[in-house]
Structure 1
Amino acid sequence: MDLQLKGKVVLVTGGSKGIGKAIAKAFKEEGAIVAIAARSKEDLEKTLFDYRLDASYEGDLSTFEGRDTVFQNLINDFGTIDILVNNVGGSNGATTMETDMSLFEEAMNLNYFSAVHFSKLAAPIMKENGEGSIINISSVFGREAGGKPTYNGAKAAMISFTKSFADEVIKDGIRVNGVAPGSILHPTGNWQKRLDENPEKIKAFVEQEIPAGRFGTVEEIANVVLFLASEKSSWVVGATLNVDGGQSKSNF
């Protein structure tokens, strides 16, 4: 199936490893022009080389200055942006009472404000082009209890933003949607670390909590992102799709 993504300029934040890396690879395989942004120069360079991507930008995406510099470099290099994937994120802290307020702020800056800021930077260019797609990678724990409070709150905010911004910019031809992954296994992720530390505990978790009976893969997330970025999903606006093998408890 031709998703008509050839030649589209794509920016994937947090694109040097894990889900973001798989998303970047999938877009490149569709013939898109793919740039990735992240903090680690080493990981960026490896991913750029491995998948023959078009550009990589090093920066602290939890800061206004870092995001602004990355975006301006993208526009200087390619002149436009067609697809933005707000994937950068991370988990920190413990229970609410055991977590310092600074960690809540860090989580919001990295997981939520990064998505808002990049979206605000991309939207005027997409509006001028008459079309564009923004895809926010949140989590099923943005809809229900399960992860760390800092992470849950930031991802819940992202899901809410996805809908509100989608309604605001669809008149300009810009579609904003999201993907809420469940538990995804990949070499650099938390689930792999937990699996290595306690295989029996994680095996029991999968059996009890994931109806599909296994972890998801980064490729399965990337496939849904490609669909949402393409015209095949032209009537999907403001949706955040659970991609979780049935793991979530919510009815939507």
Structure 2
Amino acid sequence: MDLNLAGKTVLVTGGSKGIGQAVALAYLAEGAKVVVVARNEADWMREFKAEYFQFIKADLVMEQEREKVVEIALEKFGSIDILINNVGGSNGSTIAETELSLFYEAFNLNYFSAVHFSQLVLPKMKENGWGSIINISSIFGRESGGKATYNAAKAAMISFTKALADEAIKDGIRVNGVAPGSILHPSGNWKKRMEENPEKMKQFVKNEIPAGRFGTVEEIANVVLFLSSEKASWVVGATLNVDGGQSKSNF
């Protein structure tokens, strides 16, 4: 299926590894121009030519760093057609034992970065009359599981996705989200847990994931590409679970 993404400019936050890397590589394979933002450059990035790839080193917790990223991307490619808000991370433990500062930190990285980047790219998208914003949240933004700091931030992201979608669609900008379940990749937490206790993880998969296995980063990337393409032109404000049936929610 031709998704007609060739020539589009895509900004991927948290794109050096895991889901972000898979998303960036998928867009490059479609012929898009890709800007990857992360704290550190990865070896895989060096094989791509400057005319269609740009790495920007930035700490996306910081507001001024996010502004710098968009400025550099626009100067390089002249437009940002697709924004993938993927950067994120988990911290803290139980609510009672987690410092309030860690809640602020979790929201700044997982949620406010997505809000801010969306605000920064909207003017150019409105000018072009077209754009797509995809927010990578989590199934745990809809139900219990994982750490409360992360869950709360991802729940806010899902709500934000719908609110911005309803606001931006009149300008030809579609906003949607993807909520991954448990995804296995070399740099992820599930990989570490698998190495530490393989039998426990096998039991977890058996009990919690109806599909009988962990998901892959490529399976997330495929849905992201579809949502950002015109093949999904009537999908507005949706956050799609991509989880092999793992989520307990029915919406």
Structure 2 distance, partners of 1:135, 1:50, is 26
Alignment of 1:202-217 (within 5 A): 202-217=201-216
1:30 counterpart residue number: 30
Structure 2 distance, partners of 1:211, 1:177, is 25
CA contact (8 A) 1:159 1:178 kept: yes
1:88 counterpart residue number: 87
Alignment of 1:60-71 (within 5 A): 60-71=59-70
SS of the residue corresponding to residue 95 of structure 2 reads coil
1:149 counterpart residue number: 148
Unaligned runs of 5+ in 1: none
Amino acid at match of 1:9: T
CA contact (8 A) 1:25 1:51 kept: no
Number of residue pairs matched by the alignment: 249
Structure 1 segments of 4 or more deviating over 6 A? none
Amino acid at match of 2:177: G
- 1:47 is displaced (CA, Å) by 3.1
CA contact (8 A) 1:12 1:85 kept: yes
Structure 1 distance, partners of 2:76, 2:31, is 18
- 1:48 is displaced (CA, Å) by 1.5
Amino acid at match of 2:40: S
Deviations 1:158-190 (A, max 9, x none): 000000000001000000000000000000000
Tell me the C-alpha RMSD between the 2 structures. Answer: 0.9
Amino acid at match of 1:120: Q
CA contact (8 A) 1:62 1:114 kept: yes
2:220 counterpart residue number: 221
Deviations 1:123-158 (A, max 9, x none): 110000000000000000000000100000000000
Alignment of 1:92-111 (within 5 A): 92-111=91-110
- 1:50 is displaced (CA, Å) by 4.4
Amino acid at match of 2:44: T
1:48 counterpart residue number: 45
- 1:238 is displaced (CA, Å) by 0.2
Give the TM-score normalised by the residue count of structure 1.
Answer: 0.97
Amino acid at match of 1:23: V
Amino acid at match of 2:89: G
2:229 counterpart residue number: 230
- 1:76 is displaced (CA, Å) by 1.1
2:238 counterpart residue number: 239
- 1:62 is displaced (CA, Å) by 1.0
Amino acid at match of 2:46: F
Structure 2 distance, partners of 1:192, 1:34, is 27
Structure 1 distance, partners of 2:40, 2:113, is 17
SS of the residue corresponding to residue 134 of structure 1 reads strand
Amino acid at match of 1:11: L
1:6 counterpart residue number: 6
SS of the residue corresponding to residue 162 of structure 1 reads helix
